């Protein structure tokens, strides 16, 4: 199962210090939710991450003159940094898992079933910079 390869890649990234414990917890939770939904939905671990990589609407409120600009900048940078770590880890883990699955199975019908949902996640996540620029203006 591709998602188990993704989970193993997250553990490896945590062990290597590539991601923080907080990011690992978020990523692992998305994997667990995806495993729980595997019988009814295709690979859906990205759904569990979306809320952690998009800026909530209250960030617009923070930008009002009620709060010091340095404080707003701090929270914005923290949120952006966390989102970038999560997105980078997601992309890396899926690339690793897809490659491991391909190495194990080779070109087969089974692989063609798993990869489309993984690739669609890559398309969604590649839009992150565009979505970020839209949501902060």
The residue ranges of every structural domain in the chain are 2-135
- Beta carbons of 93 and 13 less than 8 angstroms apart: yes
Q: What is the mean pLDDT of residues 52-79?
A: 76
CA angle at 116 for the pair 113 and 122, rounded to the nearest 5°: 145
Averaged confidence pLDDT in the chain: 77
pTM for the whole thing?
0.71
- Quick one: CA dihedral 88, 82, 65, 60, positive or negative? positive
**Cα–Cα dist 60/75, whole Å:** 12
> Which pLDDT tens digit goes with each residue over 23-50?
999 999 999 998 888 778 777 788 888 8
- Beta carbons of 5 and 11 less than 8 angstroms apart: no
Q: What are phi and psi of 77, to 5 degrees?
A: -65, -40
pLDDT category at 108 given cuts 50, 70, 90 is low
pLDDT category at 137 given cuts 50, 70, 90 is very low
**CB-hemisphere CA count at 13 Å for 20?**
10
């Amino acid at each position: 199962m591709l998602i188990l390869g993704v989970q193993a890649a997250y553990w490896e990234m945590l062990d290597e210090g590539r991601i923080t414990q907080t990011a690992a917890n978020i990523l692992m939770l998305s994997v667990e939710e995806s495993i729980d939904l595997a019988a009814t939905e295709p690979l859906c671990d990205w759904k569990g991450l979306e809320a952690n990589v998009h800026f909530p609407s209250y960030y617009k409120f923070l930008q009002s003159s009620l709060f010091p600009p340095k404080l707003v900048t701090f929270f914005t940078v923290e949120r952006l940094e966390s989102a970038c770590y999560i997105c980078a880890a997601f992309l890396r883990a899926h690339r690793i898992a897809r490659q491991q699955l391909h190495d194990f199975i080779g070109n087969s019908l089974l692989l063609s079933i798993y990869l489309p949902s993984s690739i669609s996640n890559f398309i969604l996540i590649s839009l992150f910079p565009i979505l970020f620029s839209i949501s902060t203006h």
